[in-house]
Amino acid sequence: MHERFLPASPNWYCSRCCDISSGGLLGVGAKNFIYLIDVSASTCSPQGVLVGHRGLVSGVSFCQDVTQSHICASSSGDGVIIFWDTNTQTLLREHAAHQSAVSALHWSPLDKNLVVSGDEKGIVACHWYNTGDTASFFPEARSIVCLTCSPHNWSTVAVGYKDGLILLIDVSKKGEVTRRLRGHDDDIHSLAWSPLAGEDTLNWRAEAGDDNASNAVSAGEEKGCYLASGSKDQTVRIWSASTGKGVTTLKLPYLKRRGSAVDPTLKERLWLNIHWPKARPTQLVSSCFSGELLMWDLARTGKQKWILFGSSSEGQNHSRIVFNTAAFMLPDGRQLLVSTSLDREVKCWDLSELECLWTLPTLGGFVYSLSFSPVATGCLALGVGDSMIRVWNTLSAQNRYDARCFWQGVKSKVTALAWHPKREGTLSFGTEDGKVGIYEVFSSKPPQISSTYHKKTVYSLAWGPPLPPMSFGAAEGKASHSLYSCAGEGVILQHDPTKLSGDACDIDKLIRQTNNIKHKLSPHTDLSWKPDGKVVAIGNEDGCIDVYQAPSLKLLCSIQQHHKVINVLRWHPEDNAPAELHGLLASGSCNAIIYVHDLRQVIEKPPESPLVLTEPYRRLCGHTAKITGLAWSPHHSGRLASVSYDGTAQVWDVQQEAALSNYRGHASSLLSVDWSPVDPDVLWTGGKDFTVQEWRVSKQEFTKPPKGKKMVDLKEKAKQKKKSKKASEAACPAVNGEHVTEAAVGNGQEASDEPEQEEVRSASSPVPPPGEKGTFSPRVVPSSSTLAMQRKSTTGGKSKDQQVFADSSALKKKKSRSILPLSTSMDHRPKEDLLQDCLTLASMTHDTGVCACVCGDCVKSLLHVMCVYGGVDCFLALARQRLRQARASTSTLAKDI
């Protein structure tokens, strides 16, 4: 399904979280998924992902028998063992033999049906693949860290514990302990059996002072075998299985890195993994303090018995500690070793040359942002939640995964990225803690950080022309572009890229001055500059989109179509595109619908007064959850890609309002999308599954997103309500001459998969406020007449537009933030206007002839009531109560007369 991808980072601090089948398929446990990667060729190739675990994957092990080498077992923190068929990527069987987290797992290399697992409580369980039976043993009440099955005796299993104890148990005798190996002072991280049986390959004697009286040699076990163990105490020990005694101890060397030696007392971050290569009984691979891999020559005499991997050139070794290693034999006899590390890289090594063959970067967080450089072709920047920025050269011929990591000065989740439109290598970034900075990715300099921080997460960055006051002054020395950042507190800041140490300015001040706005502006959620820099679109929290003309930021129009927070805005590119498409603006919100607006006429002929647009140019329906990312194709005019919380990416033909292709390769919600700058058929997407995936539009099986379960249920309920509509209308009370019917799902309206996100009616909604009989159809109207139109109350009969009211009642409501829930922008009006609305509404609902004026005495009284009773909502209830009392007193007086 996908061409290339960056998987999630392998899980840390697990004894066997990766393994390789005899056919060269690597299985890596990352989060609660298992990623399958083909490592049999000169470079790695993704094959798929196994989805089914509910907890973090703690172990992966393949069956080494050729007849079923495609079967693997995996364990997780919820105590479940799962058997998989990697050919079909399906779950075969699930065992729940453990009550606590499984910490160790191994498939016996001798018995193709036996899988052994151990948990944190000390339970050892045997799982038989062919019969589905399970047997549990409790050899020691200690926490198990690792275990490994013997390649020479199917019933012998070595178990390593957290306090340094190693047990050899016989699973054919109900877990009977045959040997206790004592010598380590700390956690056992890894165990490995010698590939050859017998103890005559190395002429070792038991170490002096290592005497275990309990380890008597029984008949039939004299041949024995060597066992290697790696511990947190910084030593590797070789044990004799026949005597239960240690024969030699290898101490890790302190290698100098980055100009300083490793502190011998620092061992908290050490993880000592070992691997005994096949057919090499005198060689042992181990990890070291800072990510180095060592090849130990057990037959060599002298102090230095090790050789460093990747010593021929800098940068081959891991930069952080190594957790797991797994080996694979090529058909030509060469052995490859794959290692995973804390530095979030998977490396493949040639054990003959001790050189790194390839490196696969992995991701340790959500992919919040991805963007191709407009200058450096094929340079893809990734903003990831692991506090790092990746810059991937996707066009590299030598290395398909040529990526660099930038972490200096970041120190938080990278939530937004934006390349400079003209300068090569200039990349701006925003973080979760409100930081804004600029990296020069082709230099080794640390980033520049803006001295002005946002109070909340930075969600959007954009480069655009300077605005006052930064555009004032001499042209010399002034930057051609300013950097704009929008964050969670609803503020857009303008930064001077040549002087980030200076204060950034809030553009709301310029908006108020130019447009003579007195009320508080709605919080901003996104912004997008038109490619020519003449116009900027700003999305708001109330679902409104405002379009301003640069540099004065005069308001041209307000688009009131969305009912939820605006998440993303994108202008159609102007290069090689027809002139009639230059004014297209695509918008996505927490609604599942994408709206495309044609603003060409408004931009070319600016109106004297701002317009309100309530009807989109195109409406793209299909997603079943909120829209999180949009990208126009630089190759095809009018082609748009979108990603959503429904876990899919969709390609649209905007002109035809048609769905072209749907990608379902991700395992979670999507957050970012961009088109390949060189291949018109290729898209890149990233999301909450910690992956970035490259895929082709032409190779997708589906054309539309799948229907969510919630959407199917809502449509089923709508059908049932439609059947009983006539009966319900007869039973429903009438309000203002209209029957109140239950809300149904509107045509084309897709429901969100998040229950906390309910639809809110905005100013563009044709739903009239309570008490109004008339309605109006969506159209372009001057903003100055909008309020008057909203307040207008007609007394005539029903209009032909009355059907709009019925359809709009289908929208699900959230508690309104104003008396008349047409728009949250009405919340910012003077209190006198709000009080007038209260009295008008009350007098229309209860027509008793009560005066609805707002004179001085009335205002003082009403303000006093509001202070006492807690605001406008409480006052409305009080006003209705007073009106009911007045009507009751009038009725009583009439009876008396």
The per-residue b/e assignment along 143-163, b for 16 or more CB within 10 angstroms, e otherwise, is bbbbbbbbbbbbbbbbbbbbe
CA of 835: how far to CAs of 178, 517, 832, 874, in Å?
A: 86, 21, 5, 12
835-851 tens-digit pLDDT: 777 777 766 666 544 44
Type of residue numbered 145: V
481-518 tens-digit pLDDT: 999 999 999 999 999 999 999 999 999 999 999 999 99
List Cβ neighbours of 659 (8 Å cut-off, separation of 6 or more): 620, 622, 650, 651, 652, 703, 704, 705
Average pLDDT over residues 860-876: 51
Query: pLDDT at position 859, please?
Result: 47
Q: Which of 142-146, 166-170, 304-308 is predicted with the least confidence, judged by mean pLDDT?
A: 304-308
**What band does 893 get if pLDDT is binned at 50, 70 and 90?**
low
Query: pLDDT at position 484, please?
Result: 97
Residue written as token pair 């230095």: 304
DSSP string, 600-636: HHHHHS--SS-EEE-S-SEEE---SS-EEEEEE-SSS
Distance in angstroms (rounded) separating the CA atoms of residues 340 and 275: 13
- Whole-model pTM? 0.77
**Percentage of the chain exceeding pLDDT 70:** 75
Better-predicted residue by pLDDT, 737 or 152: 152
47-54 contacts: CB < 8 A, separation 24 or more?
47/86, 48/1, 48/86, 48/89, 49/7, 49/89, 49/667, 50/74, 50/84, 50/86, 50/89, 50/91, 51/667, 52/82, 52/84, 52/91, 52/94, 53/78, 53/80, 53/82, 54/78, 54/80
Query: pLDDT at position 491, please?
Result: 96
SS3 176: strand
592-630 tens-digit pLDDT: 999 999 999 999 999 999 999 999 999 999 999 999 999
* Run of H or E residues at 36: strand 33-38
**What band does 424 get if pLDDT is binned at 50, 70 and 90?**
very high
Asked whether residue 871 carries a pLDDT value surpassing 90, the answer given is: no
Type of residue numbered 532: D
**Percentage of the chain exceeding pLDDT 90:** 65
Query: pLDDT at position 179, please?
Result: 94
Average pLDDT over residues 530-537: 95
DSSP string, 445-487: PPPEE-SPPPSS-EEEEEEE---TTTT-S-STT--S-EEEEEE
Query: Is residue 565 a contact partner of residue 550, using CB atoms and an 8 Å limit?
Result: no
- Both tokens assigned to 674: 């961009």
Residue written as token pair 């990352």: 30
Asked whether residue 686 carries a pLDDT value surpassing 70, the answer given is: yes
Domains, in order of start, for the chain: 363-471+479-521 (2.130.10.10)
- Both tokens assigned to 382: 């990734």
Average pLDDT over residues 245-256: 88
Type of residue numbered 445: K
Query: pLDDT at position 836, please?
Result: 74
CA of 7: how far to CAs of 2, 50, 574, in Å?
A: 12, 12, 34
Query: Is residue 628 a contact partner of residue 671, using CB atoms and an 8 Å limit?
Result: yes
Asked whether residue 38 carries a pLDDT value surpassing 80, the answer given is: yes
Type of residue numbered 322: V
Paired strand residues for 651 = 641, 661
Better-predicted residue by pLDDT, 803 or 437: 437
Q: What average pLDDT is seen over the chain?
A: 82
Asked whether residue 19 carries a pLDDT value surpassing 60, the answer given is: yes
- Both tokens assigned to 298: 């057990």
* Run of H or E residues at 137: strand 134-137
Residue written as token pair 């995996």: 74
Query: pLDDT at position 829, please?
Result: 61
- Both tokens assigned to 195: 């590939």
Query: pLDDT at position 126, please?
Result: 96
What are the residue ranges of helices labelled H in 390-433? none
Query: pLDDT at position 237, please?
Result: 96
Distance in angstroms (rounded) separating the CA atoms of residues 545 and 518: 19
Residue written as token pair 């290395």: 399
In degrees rounded to 5, what are phi and psi of residue 608? -70, -40
Better-predicted residue by pLDDT, 258 or 489: 489
Query: pLDDT at position 316, please?
Result: 87
Distance in angstroms (rounded) separating the CA atoms of residues 800 and 789: 17
Average pLDDT over residues 72-92: 96
**What band does 716 get if pLDDT is binned at 50, 70 and 90?**
low
- Both tokens assigned to 598: 């044609």
